[in-house]
Amino acid sequence: MTDLQATGVVENVPVLDLSHTTWEEDLAGIDRIANVGAVVVPENLAHALARISMQNVGAVVPIPTGAHVRVHTGTMTLGGDALADPGGDNEVLVVIGGLLITSPLTRIGYREVIVIGTVLAPRGSESVLGAGLTRMTGMVHYYRYAEGQQLRPLTGQQTLSGSTLANQGGSPDDVLVVTGQTIVTGQVTAVGFQQIYYTGEVIVPRESESVLAPLLAGAGQLVWYDGSPRCFLGDETFGRGFFELVDEPLGLLLVGSFRIDDDVPAGLLRDKVTSISLVGSLAAPKELIPVVQLLATAKYGDISVAGDDAEH
């Protein structure tokens, strides 16, 4: 028996790892599973799991009963030799997120390799990886391998200057891997990576499209914004006082949930804002909606009337 009997509801977690449970009774205390990215369960308990109410579960991952299972959530970086020799012949690797392989593959020694997410591997490893990946939900990308190169992973939410992508002090063979939400502020004039792979959301200046576009590959949302705006992240309300303090008209890059107050005149907004690049939501008084729509040169989200939800 396990502590799972006392949980009742399992919710809002990236992965529910049930790989070490043995008996159906171990799942008896779980009434509902909700908002879970993946559930890892032994094959002999898959039928018992099916009897549990589940909502918003991304994937159910059955694994061989009795195997020694390693479950990793997030970005996992391994050399090709680590995949060739896992230290046993009954090993199962489950990666929920990203698997970065830093050197060529000669063989995969795991009994099973299951990936829910993205795999990045050196070119020349296609046949080995194709045979060794038991189950794959997501995308596989291949990069040019070179001795001494680095795979540089960035995870979570980060803001990078345009000059950061020049990779000063690094090698042009390096590979940049970004997951989560990445915002590049300022023009990118040079990129010092052979490739930039992304999952999640990447927000980049349109004026750098000719430099960046040939090097970008991945899955997720690629957002191009215009001009050199002032960037706001999170949750913010803009009132009349803010716009009156603006000396020179500016662009706004809004990433999150935002609101324009009722005291902002349409003329003031039009005079002080040159463009709005929106990734998220922006609520404004009804009389300001036409101005906001006019200024929105890039919109990945919703523009709505403030208070509309409450009225309806």
Using one digit for the tens of pLDDT, what is the confidence trace for 25-63? Answer: 888 888 899 999 999 999 999 999 999 999 999 899 999
Q: Quick one: average pLDDT of 260-287?
A: 96
73 and 133 within one domain: yes
pLDDT range class, residue 5, cuts 50, 70, 90: very low
Indicate whether 207 and 240 sit together in one domain: no
Q: How buried is residue 94: exposed, middle or buried, by Cβ count under 10 Å (0-12/13-18/19+)?
A: buried
Q: Which pTM was predicted?
A: 0.80
Q: Are residues 156 and 131 in the same domain?
A: no
Residues 49 and 113 reside in one and the same domain: no
Q: Which pLDDT band, with edges at 50, 70 and 90, does 2 fall under? A: very low
Domain hosting 282: range is 230-311
pLDDT above 80 for 217: yes
Q: Which of 206, 225, 244 lies at the terminal end of a domain, its last residue?
A: 225
At 312 the pLDDT is 36
Same domain, 128 and 178: no
**Together in a domain, 262 and 306:** yes
**In this predicted model, what pLDDT tens digit does every residue of 104-130 receive, in sequence order?**
999 999 999 999 999 999 999 999 999
The count of structural domains within the chain is 4
Task: Give the tens place of pLDDT for each residue, 84-111.
Answer: 999 888 999 999 989 999 999 999 999 9
Tens of pLDDT, residues 268-278: 999 999 999 99
Same domain, 235 and 307: yes
Alpha helices in 7-136 (DSSP H): 46-50, 80-84, 126-132
The tally of CA atoms less than 13 A away on the side-chain side of residue 48 is 17
With CA atoms as reference, report the closest residue to 40 among 14, 55, 18, 56.
Answer: 18
- The last residue of one of the domains, among 126, 143, 160, is 143
CB atoms < 10 A from the CB of 53, how many?
Answer: 10
**Domain end residue (candidates: 192, 225, 258):** 225
**Average confidence (pLDDT) over 164-174:** 95
**Same domain for 302 and 244:** yes
| Summary mean pLDDT of the chain | 91
Looking at beta carbons, which pairs linking 80-87 to residues 24 or more positions away fall under 8 Å? 80/104, 80/105, 80/106, 80/122, 80/125, 83/107, 83/108, 83/109, 83/110, 83/113, 83/132, 84/108, 84/109, 85/109, 86/110
Residues 293 and 262 in one domain: yes
Token pair recorded at residue 161:
């200057």
| Shared-domain flag, residues 56 and 72 | no
Which residues contact residue 269 at a Cβ distance below 8 angstroms, ignoring those fewer than 6 apart? Answer: 243, 260, 288, 291, 292, 295
- Mean pLDDT, residues 139-165 taken together: 92
| pLDDT for the residue numbered 155 | 87
DSSP 272: H
Contacts of residue 129, defined as CB under 8 A and 6 or more positions apart, other chains included, come to: 101, 105, 108, 119, 121, 140
Q: Would you state the pLDDT for residue 279?
A: 93
pLDDT given at position 156: 86
Q: What is the pLDDT of residue 7?
A: 53
